Homo-oligomer: A and B are copies of this chain.
């Protein structure tokens, strides 16, 4: 007995004495052959251990892979730790599931700029989530002749997009602070470019940021403060490469050390804000009496801590990205989806203490 090569559609057809077409039809178009023959085909398939048409060969012919690729800059595992990313992923998975499409997570090694994985992925389209404008993987995705949807960022000419109005949302939030009377405000933001810069971010760096979302949020804060007469160039902005509460803590420390007069910290994510709250507690500063803190995202953890923040519909965003991609054959689909946000009032924003209060207590 020799090592039998696995059965194929052709070998099955030969065994049965019918054409390959007929075997193919037995699987894909039952109405095209008599029930009796179909039964025979399937039975013989079982006997020979034929597992059904090979998915890759089928994909080649039909030009459909049945899967959507997801591109993330970070380690895949990052996505599983960040609640906002996780919500997005869940929404996207939901949309794919509903359409019977697989979700192919593209493996990115952030160390090596290895774009090959993007070219190797057998998918019908890509969703790109939160990568910098100049990411080489993004370029690789765009070079492939498949539809693409970008979530949040970056903004690429002619590419479908789903996101929120980051700028307007954070402007509204920051306005609450200025309305409460805050004028000395510090800002904590996420990485602005692919290079690591854990420290103050100059206005030039802010404007040159490769992460559109961060850029938009910073200018949103600038808008609100500007409207209250605060000169943006004097507002300290601290950047952190890693997105973690530890980053929020050290950033808050850096801000408060450099300017103890700050009455409010605006953070561009809830994770950072939660870290900032930790640092405030460590310093014995009461939030919001001594220090107001705001976040962004509206993750469950933030809600539990009563953080004043912007809630964005992350799950809905993922779902919208999936739907948009899967509808890409439809010329009447929207080319851009902007979802609504909502301010969660929380309990971490209050009027600043006056100078007297600072010294003598309320």
* A interface residues (Cβ-Cβ under 8 A, vs B): 6, 51-60, 65-67, 69, 75-77, 80-81, 86, 89-90, 93-94, 96-97, 99-109, 114, 116-117, 119-122, 143-145
Residue of B nearest to A144 (CB): B51
Q: Which residue from B53, B56, B76 sits with its C-beta under 8 Å from A59? A: B56
- B65 x A90 contact (CB < 8 A): no
Q: Which residue from B54, B90, B116 sits with its C-beta under 8 Å from A77? A: B90
- B102 x A117 contact (CB < 8 A): yes
Q: Which residues of B contact A122 (CB under 8 A)?
A: 55-56, 59, 65-67, 122
Q: Which residues of B contact A103 (CB under 8 A)?
A: 76, 104-105, 107
Number of this chain's copies in the assembly equals 2
Complex alpha-carbon distance, A117 and B102, angstroms: 8
- B76 x A6 contact (CB < 8 A): no
- B109 x A100 contact (CB < 8 A): yes
Known: A97-B107, A122-B59. A145 touches B80 (CB 8 A): no
Q: Which residues of B contact A106 (CB under 8 A)?
A: 102
Complex alpha-carbon distance, A120 and B97, angstroms: 14
Q: Which residues of B contact A80 (CB under 8 A)?
A: 86, 89-90, 93
Complex alpha-carbon distance, A124 and B120, angstroms: 13
9 A-B pairs in the complex with CB atoms less than 8 angstroms apart: A51-B143, A56-B56, A56-B65, A56-B122, A59-B59, A66-B121, A77-B93, A100-B117, A101-B107
Instruction: Kindly provide the distance from the CB of A316 to the nearest chain B CB, expressed in whole angstroms.
Output: 13
Q: Which residues of B contact A76 (CB under 8 A)?
A: 90, 93-94, 96-97, 103
Complex alpha-carbon distance, A52 and B94, angstroms: 31
Q: Which residues of B contact A67 (CB under 8 A)?
A: 104, 121-122
Q: Which residues of B contact A121 (CB under 8 A)?
A: 55, 66-67, 102
Complex alpha-carbon distance, A76 and B97, angstroms: 7
Instruction: Kindly provide the distance from the CB of A322 to the nearest chain B CB, expressed in whole angstroms.
Output: 11
